[in-house]
Amino acid sequence: MLNSAFSDDFRAILKFPFAAPRSRNNFLAGAALFLAGMFIPLLPALLVYGYIVQVLRRAVRGDELIMPEWKDWGQLAYDGLRSLLIGALFLGPGMLTVFTGMALYFGVWFGGIQLLDQADSGSAAWPLVLIIGSVAILFLSLLAGWLFSLAGLGPLPAALAHFAARNHFAAAFDVPAWSRVIAADKLGYFLGWVIVLGLGSLTYLVFTLVYLTGVLCFLANFIVLPFAFYLLLVGAAIFGNHYRAAAARLAAPPA
């Protein structure tokens, strides 16, 4: 057994969304809301992500790992809004870098094409430089955006767990506090990401296989979104348990 918070009762974490009849009903309700988000903007997403915060908070507190009831809709929406804003602020620099790079790429590329059409054979060098430069801009912006996104995504579960534990928006940006939690059990945090990424890859594989059937492609989102909801639930339980156990290690006196 690995000496890691992640290794504690992992099988129960994978099964908890379906462990009891009431849990299964709550899972179906969440999956239905997730699907409703395809047609209704924002509100279903706020409720679903607020529910994920509830699961995360229960795991952080060490409460029984069950699917909570769907109630207190205002609090769900409030928690969902705050968690989405936290995610946007962590991932925003990467997304902004990519979008800015793409805008510059199209602008410089289009300008180079226009100049090339107007240039004679002796003055075509600068338009070609612009066209080649636009490709370099696109490549560099995609690379930088990927690196920024990775830098934001890696610590995001710990930041969300700290937010859930403190129930305060600014707690997600208390970098020294949640950095110490990660450092207290680096192996557990890494393994948590391995499992979440593995489940995410499986979800993507299911989506791809369904989509490639052709016949069922229009049902792909309806089939894969419940998988995505399950992934969010399991991820919340994994990282919530990690936060609780790692924080307990920090609080324990040295042997």
Q: What share of the chain is helix, strand, coil (3-state, %, to 5)?
A: 85, 0, 15
Note the pTM of the prediction, 2 decimals: 0.86
Q: Burial level of 81, CB count in 10 A (0-12/13-18/19+)?
A: middle
User: Is the per-residue pLDDT at 216 higher than 70?
Assistant: no
DSSP string, 40-66: S-SHHHHHHHHHHHHHHHHHHHT----
Mean pLDDT of 94-102: 93
Question: Could you report the per-residue pLDDT of 39-85, keeping only the tens digit for each?
Answer: 888 999 999 999 999 999 999 998 888 899 998 999 999 999 999 99
The residue type found at 80 is G
Most confident of 12-21, 147-156, 223-232: 147-156
Mean pLDDT of 135-143: 91
The residue type found at 186 is K
Q: How far apart are the first and last CA of the chain?
A: 21
Distance CA 116, CA 124 (A): 6
- Asked if residue 83 lies in contact with residue 108, where contact means CB atoms within 8 angstroms, the answer is no
DSSP string, 78-107: HHHHHHHHHHHHHHHHHHHHHHHHHHHHHH
Distance CA 25, CA 110 (A): 54
pLDDT of residue 1: 39
Distance CA 142, CA 132 (A): 16
pLDDT of residue 255: 52
pLDDT of residue 5: 46
Local structure of residue 254 (DSSP, 8 states): P
Confidence band of 93 (pLDDT split at 50, 70, 90): very high
- Asked if residue 77 lies in contact with residue 47, where contact means CB atoms within 8 angstroms, the answer is yes
Confidence band of 2 (pLDDT split at 50, 70, 90): very low
Most confident of 18-32, 52-66, 113-127: 52-66
Distance CA 48, CA 59 (A): 17
Most confident of 34-43, 81-90, 199-208: 81-90
- Of 100 and 223, the structure prediction assigns the larger pLDDT to 100
Distance CA 242, CA 4 (A): 9
Q: Lowest mean pLDDT: which of 108-112, 179-183, 209-213?
A: 209-213
What are the domain boundaries of the chain?
Answer: 5-92+163-251
- Asked if residue 166 lies in contact with residue 181, where contact means CB atoms within 8 angstroms, the answer is no
